[in-house]
Amino acid sequence: MDYQIQEGRFALPEGFQDRSVNIFALNGSGPASLSITISRDDTLPGEDISAYLERQLKLMASKLRGYTVLDKKSAALNADQPLQGLQISAYHIVEKRPIHQRQAAFIIAPARVLVFSATSQLDFTTAQDAQWNELLASFVLNSPTLEQE
């Protein structure tokens, strides 16, 4: 299978699955810096997006000190042809400081999940909230989609 990344493309050997993580950091390294991460995962057999997210939340709570979910709500990926998912807002403690995180998860193909995360050392600003919503709304899913399979 031909596989494309930002820097180029290559032939991926048969049987391999994309487990890559994309990390995007806002310029600057101060405490107000913001990063966005896009990762890929699999659901367990028969697991819907709600069960997947609950399983991930339990895992994060066991690994991250002071992990606290502030909000959980529905989310949409792509403004024109929305794909429904779930979003959480949470924080955890690192070196006595809160790390704020927002995550949105979407099942993009059978048993395949795409997870968007935004992480900041400070509370998210109104401008960052708008950027987050624009990011999710602007995403266009490549084929195959759930409807095509």
pTM score = 0.87
In sequence order, which residues have a C-beta less than 8 Å from that of residue 17 and are 6 or more positions away? none
Tokens of residue 137, six digits:
């709304």
Q: DSSP assignment of 9-33, as one string?
A: EEEPPTT-----EEEEE-S--STT-
Closest listed residue to residue 144, CA positions, set 115, 116, 114, 108: 108
Diameter of the chain measured on Cα atoms? 48
pLDDT band at residue 125 using 50, 70 and 90 as cut-offs: very high
Residue 30 binned pLDDT confidence (cut-offs 50, 70, 90): low
Q: Tell me, what's the pLDDT at 32? A: 55
Quote the pLDDT of residue 94: 94
The CATH code that applies to domain 20-141 is 3.40.1000.10
